[in-house]
Structure formats: structure tokens, C-alpha cells
Amino acid sequence: MMVTKKAVKKAVKKVVKKVVKAEKKIVKKTVKKAKAIEKKVEKKVASAVKTVRKKISK
């Protein structure tokens, strides 16, 4: 059986599509994690600022 160039190209395209899809999923997950971490950090900073203000006002 001869493997034509077209068949090879099709196979490569399929693989590339799958890889790209997988990468997009990973990126979405990491972005979500990063956003969650950002929110946590913001909350910590906000609470720290509050405590500092309380100490200053006393």
C-alpha cells in the first residue's frame, strides 16, 4: 500500500488539531488557577491594609 502525500498531510493535520485542543484546555485551566490565586492574594492584601489602617487610627 502506497502512502500518498495527501494521506500523510491529513494525518498530520489531525494530530496537530488534537495537540492544539489539548494545549488550549491546559491553558484555560492554568488561567483559571492564576485568576483564583490573584483573588486570594488581593484578599490577603486588602485584609493586611485594613489591619494596618486600624493600627494607625488607634
Cell of 26: 491546559
C-alpha cell at 21: 485542543
Rounded CA-CA distance 23/31 in Å is 12
Q: What is the pTM of this model?
A: 0.51
pLDDT score recorded for residue 28: 94
pLDDT in tens, 12-53: 999 999 999 999 999 999 999 999 999 999 999 999 999 998
Residues 6+ apart with CB under 8 A from 55: none
pLDDT band (50, 70, 90) for residue 3 = confident
Residue in the block written with cell 485584609: 47
Range of the domain at 53: 29-58
4 within a domain of the structure (yes/no): no
Higher pLDDT residue, 1 or 40? 40
Question: Does residue 23 lie in a domain region?
Answer: no
In the chain, the number of structural domains is 1
